[in-house]
Amino acid sequence: MKRGRLDVEVSGQRVVLVGRIDDSVTLGELAAQLPAGALVLDTAGVTFVNSIGMREWIRLTRALAARGAPVTLERVADVMMTQMNLIPELRKTVQIASFHAQYACPSCGAEATPLIDAVAHRAELRSLLPPLVPCDECASLMALADFPERYLMIFSD
């Protein structure tokens, strides 16, 4: 289904979002159109989020939380991570299984947005310590290319 500049694909309990979450999107009523029970939201295809889009995202997560079923986020786009870290309420309403973050290699300068397994690295993430990621170009360890708080506050207690 199309919602403004955002495509929403539902397959069983999995919902894949692709496109922009901006002022063209209304997500508040989407919860009523999704299957009952636990849901997995995949936002890897989200390319842009603005403040109005985040308002709609909050409306969606609130509506899903009101249903009482768990919501797991997988493959969260880096643009979503930076925005979600600004909203403390999301720490309680969603569980993040994996996310993309911007990394840079100090040895060769390569940049990447690897997928981080939030479950495997839960202890580090709670301490705002980004996992080290090997560089695909030179095999050196890459480092988070931004302040940890921009990606990891959502994991803190």
Q: What is the 3-state secondary structure (H, E, C) of 31-50?
A: HHHCCCCCEEEEEEEEEEEC
What residues does each domain of the chain span? 2-155
**CATH assignment, 2-155:** 3.30.750.24
Q: Is the pLDDT of residue 28 over 90?
A: no
> 21 pLDDT band (50/70/90 cuts)?
very high
Summarize pLDDT for 56-69 with one digit per residue, the tens.
999 999 999 999 98
Q: In percent, how much of the chain has pLDDT > 70?
A: 99
Sign of CA dihedral 18, 77, 103, 87: positive
Q: Could you give the CA distance from residue 156 to residue 49 in angstroms, rounded to a whole number?
A: 23
C-beta neighbour count of 1 within 10 angstroms = 9
